[in-house]
Structure 1
Amino acid sequence: MVVVVRLSLKQRYGLLVCFTIAGLIAYQFTRRGPEVKRMSRVEGLRANSSQFSLEGEPFRILGGSIHYFRVPRAYWEDRLLKMRACGLNTLTTYVPWNLHEPERGVFNFQDQLDLEAYLRLAASLGLWVILRPGPYICAEWDLGGLPSWLLRDKNMKMRTTYPRFTDAVNSFFDQLIRRVVPHQYSKGGPIIAVQVENEYGSYAKDTEYMPFIKEALLSRGITELLLTSDNQEGLKLGGVQGALETINFQKLNLDGIKYLDGIQPQKPRMVMEYWSGWFDLWGGLHHVFTPEEMLAVVSEILKLDMSINLYMFHGGTNFGFMSGAFTVGTPAPKPMVTSYDYDAPLSEAGDYTTKYHLLRNLFSHYHTKLLPEVPSLQERKAYQPVVIQQHLSLWDSLHFTDKPFKSERPVNMENLPVNNNNGQSYGYTLYETTITRGGALSSKNNVRDRALVFVDRHFVGVLDYKVQELALLDGKGERTLSLLVENCGRVNYGKTLDEQRKGLVGDIEVNKKPLRDFIIHSLDMKPGFVNRVKSSGHWKSMRQQLSFPGFFQAKLHVEGKPRDTFIRLPGWSKGVVFINGRNLGRYWSIGPQQTLYVPGPWLHKGTNQVVVFEEQEADGKIQFASSPDYGMTVDVQ
C-alpha cells in the first residue's frame, strides 16, 4: 500500500531547511578531520590562561613544520601520516609569496601550490594547522619568500609601511586570505591559529608595520588566535598587541622562557620553532644535532608544560633555484644547498630517523590512546648509471632564450625587460660586450653572485665576492667579453633584504675604464626554455669536442613502478639537473651535499629525459644511489 502525504508549501520549506542543516552537519564531520568531541565549534584555540584551550578544554600543541612547497604533492599524504604516527597533533606551514605570485598580479594556487588541498588533507588526517602566511617567511628560502619583482623599485623598503610594499602585500593577501578563511576552525576547517609575519623583532625597521600586517589579516576575515614568533632578542621588538608571543630556540633557553613569562604572565608558553637540526651552506659541512641532545631539550620543554612546534619535522628539498643565502657574521652571502634535509626527524626522502623514533616514544606518553601504526616506507632504487648521449653548448642554446636586451650600461636581473616587465628572478644572466685590449678586469664588487668570464668564448676565470679582479691577455682587434652571472640565492634573513638585486649591479671596468654597450641574455631556465632546448636539433654527439658551459642529455629507462632515487655526479663541477623538465636543483662539487633527491612520482615508466647544465667539467655518465650523501658532518654550535 502506498501512502501519499500532501504537505503545504510552508511544511515543505521547513523539511528542506532541516535536511540542509543535517547535510551541513554531516559535511562538517567528514571534512573536519581533527577529532573534536563536540559539534559546536564555537570556541577555538584560546590563550586566556597559562594553558591553551580548545573547545573549552585544556590543549597542548604538539606541532611540526612541513612545507607543502618543499615536498612533491604526491607525497603530501605520506609525510602527514608519518607526522600523525609520531604523536603530533598540529601541522605548521609557511606560504611562499614568491611562488604564488611569480609576476605582479599573476597568481598560482594550483597543483604543487594548491594550499587549500593541503589544508583539506591535513584536516582529513586529523591534524590541526597553524598557518604562517608571511608575507616574509625567512625559511632559508630565496629572499625570505618575498618576490624579486619588488626590487625593480630602487627605493623599495621591504617589511615596512613603504606604500609600494604595502600595496603589493594587500594585493597578495586579497588572493591568499580569501582562500584561507573557509579553512579556519570557526568555519569547520583545521586552522586554529595564524602567525603575524615572522621574526619581525630581528628586523624591526618600522613600528607601524606589525599593526599593518595584523589588520591586513583581520580585515580579510581571519578570526582565529594570532601569534608572533621570535628568538629571545627579537621578543623585545617583534610583538603586536592582540597576538600571543612565542619563542624560537634549539638549546634550552630558560632565560628566554623567563622573559616570555615576564612580558605576558598567565599566558600559554610555546616554542614556535624548536630547531630539530640546521641548514647547510655550499662549501661548508653538513650540520647535525644529536638525537640524544634534541630529546633532552624537547623533554624539558614538555615538563615545563609548554607547547612545541618542531622546525623542521620534515624539511624536504629546495627544488629549482629557491634556496636562500646566509650573511649573519659573514663578510659575503653564503648560498644554501639544495637539500633541506635539516637533520630533521623525517629525512628529505621521508625516512624515519633515530630522532623520529625517540620523539614517537616521548609523545606517546602525552596521548590517552595508542598512536597510529607507522606507515611503511617508500621503496628506493639505485638505477644503473646512464651514459651522456649528446651535448649542446651554452652559446648554441641562446637561440631558445627570449630576445636579448641591448643596454649601454649593465642592468641587474630584476630590472631586465623580461617576464612581462617583471624582470628575471632566478638562474643565470649572460652579459656580453666588446673589448679592444687586455689588462685588469675589475668587478668593483658588482657581481652578484658569481660570474664565469670568457673572451671570445674561451674561459678566463671566475669573479665573485672574493675574486674581484682578473688579468685579460692582449689580443688583436675587437673581442667579445662574456660574463655568465649566476644568482646563487638571495639572502633570506637579516637587514639587507633591500640590497638583494642580482646579476651585474653596477659597472665593471677594464684598466679602470667602465665597459659599455652590453647585449644581455636572460637564462632563467624555466620549463619552456628547457623543453625548447631538449627538442632542438642542435645537439652534438659526445664524440665531438665538448664546450663549456653546456647542456648534457641522457636517458634513464625505468622498468616497473618508478622509485625514489638520488643522483650522484662525481667528475662534474657545478650546475643544475632537470628530469623530465623539472628542475631538481643545484649541485656543486665543493659540497657538502653530493647527491640530489629524485622523487619517484617525477619519473615515469619507460624513458625519462635527464638534462644537466654544467658550467666547467663533465663526466661521461650520471650515477644513481639509493641513499643520500650530505657530506662530512659537524655538530650544530
Structure 2
Amino acid sequence: MKKKISFFIICNLFLAIGLFAQQPTPTFAIGDSSFLLNGKPYVIRCGEMHFARIPKEYWRHRLQMAKAMGLNAVCAYLFWNFHETELGKFNWDGNADVAEFCRMAQQEGLYVILRPGPYACAEWEFGGFPWWLLKQKDIKLRTQDPYYLERSRIYLKEVGRVLAPLQVSDGGPIIMTQVENEYGSYGNDKEYIGKVRDYLKEAGFSIPLFTCDGPSQLKNDVRDDIFSVVNFGGNPQANFKALREIRSKGPLMCGEYYPGWFDSWGTKHHTGSVGNVVKEIGYMLDHKASFSIYMVHGGTTFGLWSGANCPPFLPQTSSYDYDAPISEAGWDTEKYYALRKLFSGYLQDGETLPAVPTRNPVIKIPAFTTTEVAPMFSNLPAFISAKQVQNMEAYDQGYGSILYRTQLPGGPASVLNIQEVHDFAQVFVNGRKIATLDRRRNENSCKLPATQKGDVLDILVEAMGRVNYGGYIHDRKGITDKVFITGSNGESKELLDWKIYPIKLSNDGIPAYVKFRQGKTSMPAFHKGKFVLNKTGDTFLDVSTWGKGLVWVNGHCLGRFWNIGPTQTMYVPGPWLKKGSNEVIVLDYTGPKKNVLAGLELPILDSLTEKATVKKHRKDGQALVLAGVKPAYQGSFDTGIAWQTAKFNTAQGRYFCLEALNAHRENDPFTTMAELYLLDENGKELPRNKWKVVYADSEEIQGEDGKADNIFDLQNTTVWHTKWQGDSPKHPHQVVIDLGALQHISGFKYLPRQESPNGRIKDFRVYLSQTMFKGL
C-alpha cells in the first residue's frame, strides 16, 4: 500500500513539474504598432506614484486606489539620493524598499514601469542626485564627466542587483525601464545616453528600455536603438504627430500626461480641468495609445527632499498634491471618478474594476501650544575656522542651514554684499536682525548700519532645496563665493576670518546637541510641544501662525512650511501618530505669530498671504520704448492650439521682444502664451537655459500663476497671462527676453494657450537688439 501511495505521489510530482515547465515565460515587447504582452497587443494605462512620497504603511492602499480607478500599471521614479545618502552606503530598507513596492504592485494586479535615473527631476531635491556629487568642484552633471559616469554606473549596478530579478521576463512586474530622464531638455549628447543605456544592460536589465521627452526636445536624445515616448499636458493629436516625425514605427505612448501641476512657495495652487483630462485621455484610448498620468497620486515630499526651479528661483512646496486624481492624503476625487468611468469602457479581456478602497480615517487634534524652546544661536555645533566663506558642500554638509560669523572692522553706514545667497538669509549685527535676503527675488545685499570695530556679524543661510531641473542644477548652498562691504565712496573690502557653523539637519530628527528650556522666542529656534490622542488617523497640521521652517512629529520630518503660502497645513500620516503622548518639534527661522498648532480634517492648499507673491518683470513707472525701432518681423498667427512657426531673415540680437497687438477673440484685452522657442541661422532651436525675462508689461500673479517666465519652462500647461484681476490693461502687450549672449536668430516657434482661447495672439511684431531696449 505504501509503495502504491509513494508511486502515486511521485507520478503527480513529475506531472506538476512537467506542467510547470510548460508554463510560458512572460514576455513584454515593442511591436511595429503596439506593445505586445505575451505576444498580444496591449495598451498601457499607467499612473505615476512615488513610493518615497508615500508612507510605506499606505503603499498598498494607494496601489489599490490606482487599480480601482482602472489602471493596469504604475510608473515609479527612483531617487538616487534617497538610496545613497552617503557615498558608497546604499539603503533599500523601510520607505526605500522599492523591491517590496514592486512586489506589492504585482500582488494588486499592476505592472511597473521603472525610472531609475540617474537623473529624475520630479520636483525632488537636486533632481534625485546625491548632494555629495557637488563636493567635486569641477563636476559636470549629465555629461561624460568621468567621476559622474563612474558614480552613475555604480548606482545603476546596485539598482540592478535589487530590481533586475523583478523583470517580467523573470516573472516579476517590471515591463520597461527608462534611460535617464527628459535629457533633450538639457543636452544633446546621444553618446552619453548610450552609456547610461549600457550601464542598465550591464546591471541586468533585458526588458525594453526607453527615453522620454517633450515634443520639441525629442530630437536631442532620440536614438534608433532605444524606444521613445513623448511627454505632454494637452493636445495629444499634435504631440503624437511630433513623436511620429522622429519615430515612424512603434506604439504611441505619452510618458507623462499632466492632470494638474505642482506648487511653489508664494504662487497660487495649481489645478487641472477634469473635462480636459477626460477628453484627452479618451482621445488616447480611442487611438490605442498608451499613457502614464503624471501624477495619478502625488503624495508628499516629506523631509528635506523638495526641490526648486530656476530661473527664477522658485522652491517647491512639500505638498505634492498636484491636483491628481488621488489626492495627497489618498482620497478619491471628482477627477478620480470621471477617469474610472472613462476606463470602464476600455477594459481589456478579462479585466474588471475592483471596488474603490475606503479612505483612511481622519482625526482632529485640538489646538495646543509649544512650551519649550531651543534658540538656534544658543545651540550651535562646533565651528570651523576659515579665512574666506565657502558653500555648504565644502564643509561636508548636505542639508539644513549654515551660520557664518565674523567681526566687523567698524565704520559708517555701508552696503553688505553677498555673492550669492542660496537660498534664504537673515543678517544680524550683535544679535539684532537687520535684513532678510530671499533668493526668489535675487536679493544679495542689504544696508549695513554704522558699526564699531569688533561688532559681530551673523549671516544665517537656509538651504531651501537644490534646483531639480534645467541648466542651473549645479546648485551649491549657503554662500557660494564671498562677502564684502561697499562704502559710500564705492570702494569694497572683503570680510575675512570667519567662524562657520554647519547646522546639519536630517529627515529623522533634530541634532543631538540641541537642548530645550521652558519659554518662547521670535529668534531662529526649535520649539517643542506635545499632544495626547485616544485614537490615531491622518490629519493636517495647521502651521498658519508660524513663520518659516521645518516640522518633525514623533521623529518624522513632515517637510517645509512657509507662511507666505499657498499651503498652510502639513499632511500627517496616521501611522506616524500613536495613542497617548505625541511630540512635535518646529524649527522656525523667522519666528511665529502664535506658538499654536492644531490638526485639521481638511488641508489648506491655496492660501497666499504674501502680497507680492512673485517678482514682477516691470518696475513701477517702467515702460518699454519701441518708437523708432524697426521690427525684425511682423505677422499674424492662426487660430487653434498647434505650434506655429514664424521665419525671417537672420538677424543678430541679445534682447528679443515679442509684441502682441491683439487677440483672436474680439474685445479680448489679454495676451497668453504657453511656450516660445527661437531658431538659429540653421533653423534649429536655441538653448534656453540662460534665458531671463527682463520685462513684461503685464502679468497676472495674484489670481493665477501667469508670470512671463512660464513661456520657457518646458511645460505647455503653464502660461504667461497678462493681468486680469483688478484691471485688464489693453493691447499691445510685450515681453522682453535677455538671451544671455549675442545670437543669430532666423525665426521663432510659438505655442498658444492650450485649454482656453482667451489671449491667443493674432497680430504681432518682433524686435531684436544687441543692447537693452530703451526704457528698460
Q: TM-score with structure 2 length normalisation?
A: 0.74
Partner of 2:355: 373
CA distance in 2, matches of 1:262, 1:310: 23
Deviation at 1:467, TM superposition (A): 2.6
Deviations 1:167-202 (A, max 9, x none): 110111121111111000011100011111110111
CA distance in 2, matches of 1:541, 1:574: 19
Note if contact 1:531-1:581 (Cα within 8 Å) is conserved in structure 2. Answer: no
CA distance in 2, matches of 1:299, 1:261: 20
What SS class does the counterpart of residue 66 from structure 2 fall into? helix
Q: 575, 579, 586: which is aligned to 1:605?
A: 579
CA distance in 1, matches of 2:582, 2:437: 36
CA distance in 2, matches of 1:570, 1:5: 74
**Does the C-alpha gap of structure 1 residues 49 and 206 become closer, same or farther in structure 2, counting only changes over 3 Å?**
closer
Deviation at 1:4, TM superposition (A): 8.1
Note if contact 2:390-2:479 (Cα within 8 Å) is conserved in structure 1. Answer: yes
Q: 379, 383, 386: which is aligned to 1:404?
A: 383
Partner of 2:340: 360
CA distance in 1, matches of 2:453, 2:117: 54
**Does the C-alpha gap of structure 1 residues 6 and 74 become closer, same or farther in structure 2, counting only changes over 3 Å?**
closer
CA distance in 2, matches of 1:341, 1:352: 12
Deviation at 1:386, TM superposition (A): 1.2
CA distance in 2, matches of 1:127, 1:102: 29
Note if contact 2:304-2:507 (Cα within 8 Å) is conserved in structure 1. Answer: no
**Does the C-alpha gap of structure 1 residues 458 and 212 become closer, same or farther in structure 2, counting only changes over 3 Å?**
same
Deviation at 1:20, TM superposition (A): 9.4
Counterparts of residues 245-264 of structure 1 (less than 5 Å): 245-264=228-247
What SS class does the counterpart of residue 495 from structure 1 fall into? helix
Counterparts of residues 93-112 of structure 1 (less than 5 Å): 93-112=76-95
Q: 172, 181, 195: which is aligned to 1:198?
A: 181
Partner of 2:532: 557
**Does the C-alpha gap of structure 1 residues 527 and 261 become closer, same or farther in structure 2, counting only changes over 3 Å?**
closer
* Larger displacement relative to structure 2 (318-327 or 472-481): 472-481
Partner of 1:28: none
**Does the C-alpha gap of structure 1 residues 340 and 527 become closer, same or farther in structure 2, counting only changes over 3 Å?**
closer
Give the aligned residue type for 2:603. Answer: P
How many residues are aligned here?
Answer: 601
The sequence identity of aligned pairs, in percent, is 35
What SS class does the counterpart of residue 319 from structure 2 fall into? coil
Give the aligned residue type for 1:194. Answer: T
CA distance in 2, matches of 1:529, 1:262: 51
Q: 318, 321, 331: which is aligned to 2:304?
A: 321
CA distance in 2, matches of 1:91, 1:339: 21
Counterparts of residues 286-365 of structure 1 (less than 5 Å): 286-327=269-310, 330=311, 332-365=312-345
Q: 425, 428, 432: which is aligned to 2:401?
A: 428
Q: Given the alignment of the two structures, is residue 386 of structure 1 paired with residue 368 of structure 2, yes or no?
A: yes
Partner of 1:459: 433
Partner of 1:625: 600
Partner of 1:91: 74
Note if contact 1:156-1:165 (Cα within 8 Å) is conserved in structure 2. Answer: yes
What SS class does the counterpart of residue 270 from structure 2 fall into? strand
Which consecutive unaligned segments of at least 5 residues does structure 2 have?
A: 487-491, 608-702, 706-716, 719-776
Q: 519, 522, 545: which is aligned to 2:499?
A: 519
CA distance in 2, matches of 1:414, 1:19: 63
**Does the C-alpha gap of structure 1 residues 173 and 23 become closer, same or farther in structure 2, counting only changes over 3 Å?**
farther
Deviations 1:522-575 (A, max 9, x none): 2222267616267x3x41334xxx251011111021112x11000112321111
Note if contact 2:157-2:202 (Cα within 8 Å) is conserved in structure 1. Answer: no
Note if contact 1:440-1:469 (Cα within 8 Å) is conserved in structure 2. Answer: no
Deviation at 1:6, TM superposition (A): 9.2
Give the aligned residue type for 2:397. Answer: Q
**Does the C-alpha gap of structure 1 residues 4 and 245 become closer, same or farther in structure 2, counting only changes over 3 Å?**
closer
Partner of 2:61: 78
Q: Given the alignment of the two structures, is residue 164 of structure 1 paired with residue 137 of structure 2, yes or no?
A: no
CA distance in 1, matches of 2:42, 2:273: 29
* Larger displacement relative to structure 2 (300-309 or 252-261): 252-261
**Does the C-alpha gap of structure 1 residues 375 and 518 become closer, same or farther in structure 2, counting only changes over 3 Å?**
same
Q: 432, 435, 445: which is aligned to 1:469?
A: 445
CA distance in 2, matches of 1:527, 1:371: 38
CA distance in 2, matches of 1:428, 1:557: 31
**Does the C-alpha gap of structure 1 residues 547 and 286 become closer, same or farther in structure 2, counting only changes over 3 Å?**
closer
Deviation at 1:24, TM superposition (A): 7.5
CA distance in 2, matches of 1:577, 1:6: 65
CA distance in 1, matches of 2:307, 2:16: 50
CA distance in 1, matches of 2:538, 2:19: 42
Partner of 1:144: 127
Deviations 1:451-497 (A, max 9, x none): 11111221111123333222222234412211111111111111222
**Does the C-alpha gap of structure 1 residues 205 and 516 become closer, same or farther in structure 2, counting only changes over 3 Å?**
farther
CA distance in 2, matches of 1:252, 1:450: 39
Give the aligned residue type for 1:431. Answer: Y
Deviation at 1:22, TM superposition (A): 7.5
Note if contact 1:340-1:348 (Cα within 8 Å) is conserved in structure 2. Answer: yes
What SS class does the counterpart of residue 312 from structure 1 fall into? coil
Deviation at 1:19, TM superposition (A): 9.1
Deviations 1:561-596 (A, max 9, x none): x11000112321111111111111111111111111
What SS class does the counterpart of residue 210 from structure 1 fall into? helix
Give the aligned residue type for 1:156. Answer: I
What SS class does the counterpart of residue 273 from structure 1 fall into? strand
Give the aligned residue type for 2:24. Answer: S
Note if contact 2:188-2:220 (Cα within 8 Å) is conserved in structure 1. Answer: no
CA distance in 1, matches of 2:113, 2:6: 51
CA distance in 2, matches of 1:440, 1:154: 32
Note if contact 1:277-1:287 (Cα within 8 Å) is conserved in structure 2. Answer: yes
Deviation at 1:103, TM superposition (A): 1.4
Deviations 1:260-311 (A, max 9, x none): 1232223100001001110111111001111111111111121222001100
Q: If each structure's helix is expressed as a fraction of its own residues, which one has the higher value?
A: 1
* Larger displacement relative to structure 2 (452-461 or 74-83): 452-461
Note if contact 2:408-2:455 (Cα within 8 Å) is conserved in structure 1. Answer: yes
CA distance in 2, matches of 1:68, 1:5: 50
Give the aligned residue type for 1:556. Answer: F
Deviation at 1:18, TM superposition (A): 4.7
Give the aligned residue type for 1:200. Answer: Y
What SS class does the counterpart of residue 424 from structure 1 fall into? coil
Note if contact 2:318-2:560 (Cα within 8 Å) is conserved in structure 1. Answer: yes
Deviations 1:391-415 (A, max 9, x none): 11001221xx3x3221111111111
**Does the C-alpha gap of structure 1 residues 527 and 255 become closer, same or farther in structure 2, counting only changes over 3 Å?**
closer
Q: 462, 479, 483: which is aligned to 1:508?
A: 483
What SS class does the counterpart of residue 301 from structure 1 fall into? helix
Deviations 1:367-397 (A, max 9, x none): 1443100011111112101111111100122
What SS class does the counterpart of residue 150 from structure 1 fall into? helix
Partner of 2:470: 494
What SS class does the counterpart of residue 508 from structure 1 fall into? strand
**Does the C-alpha gap of structure 1 residues 411 and 24 become closer, same or farther in structure 2, counting only changes over 3 Å?**
farther
Partner of 1:420: none
* Larger displacement relative to structure 2 (81-90 or 379-388): 379-388
